[in-house]
């Protein structure tokens, strides 16, 4: 049985994966710059990158569904560090750092960071209340 905390994490992974596919379709240059590829179209490299990230997300989904301990801690730490996306995005928008992509992408990264840290804090509260992954139906109030 999947509890609310697991559903929240799985929902985030679904949104993240859909976003990765949408970015590949709408603005594939973001992938190329992330992989530091020279200018031009690199369809195979982009698809391989998406495939590798998809496989990692799939592994994390299995870990969430099976309530693996290491998966909980990995996701918790990664989500709490999502808070760093917000100041990084602000610095990119103000020109202190070079932007990682178009303005909409930088704002989207900040939004994802806020969502990550919120879920991370809920996971931490759930852990304190009901242990790893919480009990069925557990989500902190």
Comparing 21-25, 45-49, 52-56, 91-95, the range with the smallest average pLDDT is: 45-49
Residue 81, phi then psi, degrees to nearest 5: -75, -10
Whether 137 maps to a domain, the answer reads: no
Is 81 within the bounds of a domain? yes
Task: List the structure tokens of 99.
Answer: 């932007």
Where do the DSSP E strands lie in 60-99? none
Around Cβ 78, how many Cβ atoms within 10 Å? Answer: 12
Q: With beta carbons less than 8 A apart as the criterion, state whether 139 and 9 touch.
A: no
Contact status, residue 102 vs residue 93, Cβ threshold 8 Å: no
Helix (H, G, I), strand (E, B) or coil at 13: helix
Contact status, residue 82 vs residue 115, Cβ threshold 8 Å: yes
Q: What is the largest CA-CA distance in the chain?
A: 51
Of 30 and 23, which is predicted with more confidence?
23
For the whole model, what pTM was predicted? 0.86
Q: How far apart are CA 128 and CA 21, in angstroms?
A: 35
**Domain annotation covers residue 135:** no
| Residue bearing tokens 């990550």 | 116
* 113 falls within a domain: yes
Q: Is the pLDDT of residue 126 over 60?
A: yes
Question: Within 27-102, where are the H helices?
Answer: 29-34, 43-65, 69-80, 85-94
The range of the structural domain enclosing residue 92 comes to 4-130
- Number of structural domains (the chain) is 1
- Pair of tokens at residue 133: 């992954």
On whether residue 136 sits in a domain, the answer given is no
Task: Provide the pLDDT for residue 90.
Answer: 95
User: Do the domain assignments include residue 139?
Assistant: no
């Amino acid at each position: 049985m999947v509890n609310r905390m697991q559903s929240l994490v799985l929902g985030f992974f679904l949104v993240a994966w859909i976003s990765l596919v949408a970015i590949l379709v709408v603005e594939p240059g973001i992938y190329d710059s992330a992989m530091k590829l020279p200018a031009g179209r690199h369809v195979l490299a982009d698809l391989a990158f998406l495939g590798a990230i998809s496989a990692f997300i799939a592994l994390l989904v299995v870990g969430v569904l099976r309530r693996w301990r290491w998966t909980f801690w990995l996701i918790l730490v990664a989500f709490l560090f999502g808070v760093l996306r917000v100041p990084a995005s602000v610095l990119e928008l103000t020109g202190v750092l070079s932007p990682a992509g178009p303005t909409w992408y930088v704002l989207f990264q900040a939004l994802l960071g806020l969502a990550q840290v919120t879920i991370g804090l809920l996971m931490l509260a759930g852990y304190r209340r009901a242990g790893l992954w919480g009990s069925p139906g557990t989500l902190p109030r």
